[in-house]
Amino acid sequence: MVKILQATCTNGELILSEKLNSELEGKTIQIMIFEPTESSETIDSGESKTQQFLERVKNYSFKLPREYKFDRAEIYER
C-alpha cells in the first residue's frame, strides 16, 4: 500500500495531518521524508491536481493561426 500524508515535526515527533487506517494497527511501516519545496502545496484530490496541471499548461500554450494545418508526413520527411 502506498499513501502520501503530510506531517509536522514537533519536538522530534511527527504529527500526521490525518489518522492512519486501522488496518495498519500494530504493523511496522516505512516512512520517507521529503522537505517542502518553495512552491509546496497541500496534497489535494486527483481532480484538484488535474485542475492545477491544466492551469499550468495554459502558461505554455498558444493559439495557432486559422490556416495552420498539421502535416504528419512533413515531420517524417526529416
Per the prediction, the chain carries an average pLDDT of 81
- For the range 11-17, what are the long-range contacts, defined as Cβ-Cβ under 8 Å and sequence gap of 24 or more? none
CA 51 to chain centre: 11
User: pLDDT at residue 39 above 60?
Assistant: no
Residue with cell 493561426: 65
Asked if the structure places residue 39 within a domain, the reply is yes
Where in the sequence is the domain holding 72, given as residue range(s)? 7-76
User: Is residue 48 included in any domain, yes or no?
Assistant: yes
Confirm if 53 and 14 have CB atoms less than 8 A apart: no
Q: What pLDDT score was predicted for residue 11?
A: 92
Q: Is residue 27 part of a domain?
A: yes
Domain count, the chain: 1
Using CA atoms, how far residue 29 sits from 1, 13, 49, 73, in Å, is: 10, 15, 26, 53
User: Does residue 2 form part of some domain?
Assistant: no
